[in-house]
Structure 1
Amino acid sequence: MRIGLLLAESRGGIGQHVASLVPRFVSAGHEVVVCAPPGTAEHFEFGPATVVTQAAGLRGSDVIHAHGYRAGMTALRDRSRLRPLIVTWHNAVIAPGPRGLMMRMGQRLVARGADLTLGASSDLVELAKSLGARNAQLAPVAAPAMPRIRTPRADVRAALGLSEQQPMVLTVGRLAPQKDYPTLLSVATRVHESTPHAVFVVVGDGPLRDNLQARIDAEQLPVRLLGHRNDVADLLGAADVFLLTSHWEARALVLQEAMQVGVPVVATAVGGVPELVGDSAVLAFPGDADGLADGVRAVLAEPETANAMRTRGLELSARWMDEDAVAKNLLDIYAGLVATDA
């Protein structure tokens, strides 16, 4: 098959997912063409694929797979030549106001225009069906295999100025509204009252960094913004708790990584998070700083609870589809759709 992969501007999980598919599709004997903005193409390694910057470059493909609503809209503009069309929904629309309204209108058009809609979580599948998708199904996105932990826990913590007695609560994610970092800062405030030596470490950059740092400084919070890091595996190996405060996530890649390393997870029960973590994590409602703080305190204060969470997380993550299985599943989907469309 000649497979066309289409994505909009990306620096995160969507681009990472597409980059993982390309070599697997090519090694299976298929020709792959990736359409992406120049900045995205430069940021990710699309390896043996042909890379184009205009959707017209995908014409002649046996199947088009767009990743995200914006990419789906782009494909629909050339609908007669870019088909059969699959669109994967990776994210929910949580933007307020006119922008959110326009995005939700786009969702409806994409749902009705695609031959097949794939959702990264079950709630996205149900949403697509409610908006008129003719065929929608779950297609989980696998986390990349974690790099080997190279730096001992004690050395990582020492480099951060932490002693072994100081609990480390780790968060990884873009400093953007979806991640609800104001709630994270409130959690840090509450945990500090009972566990004054705990330190919250946040990895990632984004538009909210200055505002978050201003509040951290003003309230003297035990939170460190580390910015972008290339040693997330080492940091996970040094963490006592992984905290996620997002308003919404599908199958958050960072949660998958934390569980694969054996870090107890405290997170918001949003989107695909509950079905991802099962009973291996402590969950609270979004925005519930008290509930999230109680979860963090429980993990830090109760070694038996923390160990049980580690064990359940490792057992659960061992059953997830890996990147090879995800790629094979997509190839089977493509083959079925092409045969039906012929």
Structure 2
Amino acid sequence: MRLTIVVGMTAGGVGAHVRSLVERLGALGVTTGVAGPAETEERFGFTAAGARFVPVEIGSAPNPPSDLAAVRALRRAFSGADAVHAHGFRAAALSGLALGRRRPGRTPLLATWHNAVLGGGPRRLVLGGVERLAARRADITLGVSSDLVRRARDLGAPRTRIAPVAAPVPRAPERSREDVRAELGAGDRPLLVAVNRLAEQKGLDTLLAAAARWGDRDPAPLTVVAGDGPEQDRLQHVIDRDGLAVRLLGRRGDVPDLLAAADLYVLSSVWEGRPLVVQEAMLAGLPVVATAAGGVPELVGDGAEVVPVGDDAAFARAVCGLLDDPARRDEQLQRAREQVAGWPDEDDNARLVADLCRELTSRRG
């Protein structure tokens, strides 16, 4: 079976997930091609993983001229494909336009939604229309969290199901805990780590406000944030203005080292689907404090401290409670081990995609 995977501009979990599928689908009898931006190919190396790559510029926001060009390019990319698997509702909508309306004999379209539309105003209205188009053109819509599945169903998706995205098997740290802490200037202080893009969705104002609350502890925890993004300058201004013990590290390639050196992992997002780095932290045996954003509660179960989105006081209490109570940390880690044991892995993800694509192509035949 020949499958074309469509992916847009991404710097994080979506690209890693697509790379994982490409690496595994061949062993399941599926020949894969990937269509997407050249920058995404450069970052994730789909060709090196065994896929035929076709450059198609799919931006992160609607743009009629570039979207029309993308639809034309996708039509060419889909030539000879038995099925199409689009990642993200933007990629799914453009793929649906390229394939046409659902009808007997049309190349089937499987879509995976990884993110929600946030905010309001005209942008929300435009993107809501894109979501609706994506939902109605796909034969099956997968959501990485239950709220995305409900959203697709409400918008008219004919078939939906949850499809949790698994984190890769964690890499072993390459440096000692002591060396990493020394580099970060943590000393004997508690070290809190966050790994995320510096964007509005990640709710980092909540993290900074919580850091101000625990700043008078002795010793005060050091919080480090690995990642870059459009909010970097503004967040650095707040850190400098308020004298917070927070460091923005920029993009890092040593996340396993950071997790091994940390005392807690913290996630303050406004919305998340199934964040890979939270999975990595729990797999690494690191206690987690996270906001109840999107699919986070169903991901972590009772294996993490979960607080309301935007509640910096509750966030600070949860962090300080874990730092002050070793027995509480040990109990959380035991619950986390039980939760992790029930997660799907990357092989499960690939088998699901292969099975659904075969089902769709058999119906087409």
**Shorter-chain TM-score tier:** over 0.9
Select which of 109, 112, 128 maps to 1:88: 112
Q: Structure 1 residues 63, 226: CA separation in 2 closer, same or farther (over 3 Å shift)?
A: same
Tell whether the 8 Å contact from 1:64 to 1:82 is kept in structure 2 after alignment.
Answer: no
Please give the secondary structure, in 1, of the residue aligned with 2:81. Answer: coil
Q: Tell me whether 1:97 sits opposite 2:99 in the alignment.
A: no
Tell me which of 76, 93, 96 is aligned to 1:73: 93
SS in 1 for 2:116: coil
Between 1:211-220 and 1:315-324, the stretch displaced more is 315-324
On the 8 A contact 2:30/2:354 being kept in 1, the answer is no
**Amino acid of the structure 2 residue aligned with 1:180:** G
Q: Distance in 1 between matches of 2:124 and 2:355?
A: 34
Counterpart secondary structure, 1:77: helix
Normalising by structure 2, what TM-score? Answer: 0.91
- CA distance change for structure 1 residues 281 and 32 in 2, over 3 Å: closer, same or farther? same
Tell me what 1:171 maps to. 194
2:307 corresponding residue in structure 1 = 284
Equivalent residue in structure 2 for 1:211, among 234, 238, 244: 234
Displacement of 1:323 in angstroms is 0.7
- Secondary structure in structure 1 of the residue aligned to 2:281: helix
Deviations 1:258-286 (A, max 9, x none): 10001111111121111100011111111
Match of 2:54 among 52, 55, 60: 52
Q: CA deviation at 1:27?
A: 2.5
**TM-score, L = length of structure 1:** 0.97
Q: Alignment partner of 1:60: what SS?
A: coil
Extract unaligned runs of 5+ from structure 1. Answer: none
Q: Alignment length, in residue pairs?
A: 341
CA distance in 2, matches of 1:64, 1:176: 30
CA root-mean-square deviation: 1.3
- Deviations along 1:49-81, whole A, 9 cap, x unmatched? 110123121222111000001101211222249
Secondary structure of the residue that 2:98 maps to in structure 1?
coil
Query: In 1, Cα distance between the equivalents of 2:305 and 2:23?
Result: 36
CA offsets 1:275-328 (integer angstroms, 9 cap, x no match): 100011111111100000000001100001111112221232132111111111
Q: Which amino acid aligns with 2:19?
A: A
Task: Quote how far apart the aligned CAs of 1:97 are.
Answer: 2.1
Instruction: Determine if contact 1:252/1:273 at 8 Å carries over to the other structure.
Output: yes
Q: Which letter does structure 2 place at the counterpart of 1:299? A: L
- What's the secondary structure of 1:230's corresponding residue? coil
User: Where do 5+ consecutive residues of structure 2 fail to align?
Assistant: 56-72
1:18-48 Cα distance to aligned partner (Å, 9 max, x none):
0111021123232111101111111111121
Kindly provide the amino acid, as one letter, of the partner of residue 241 in structure 1: L
On the 8 A contact 2:106/2:364 being kept in 1, the answer is no
Change (3 A) 1:291 1:339: same
Structure 1 SS opposite 2:186:
coil
Q: How does 1:223-234 map to 2 (within 5 A)?
A: 223-234=246-257
**Alpha-carbon distance between aligned partners in 1 of 2:152 and 2:218, rounded to the nearest angstrom:** 44
CA 1:82–1:7: 2 relative to 1, 3 Å? farther
Deviation at 1:8, TM superposition (A): 1.1
Q: Which amino acid aligns with 1:133?
A: A
8 Å contact from structure 1 (residues 58, 82) kept in 2 = no
Aligned to 2:161: 137
Q: Assess, with a 3 A threshold, how the Cα gap between structure 1 residues 195 and 102 changes in structure 2: closer, same or farther.
A: farther
Deviations 1:107-132 (A, max 9, x none): 11111111110000111111111111
Deviations 1:220-269 (A, max 9, x none): 00100000111100110111111111000011111101100011111111
Seq. identity, %: 45
Task: Give the letter for the 1:63 counterpart.
Answer: A
Instruction: Report matched runs for 1:1-342 at 5 Å.
Output: 1-46=1-46, 47-53=49-55, 54-55=73-74, 56-80=76-100, 83-163=107-187, 165-342=188-365
Structure 1: distance between partners of 2:30 and 2:152: 29
Q: AA paired with 1:282?
A: E
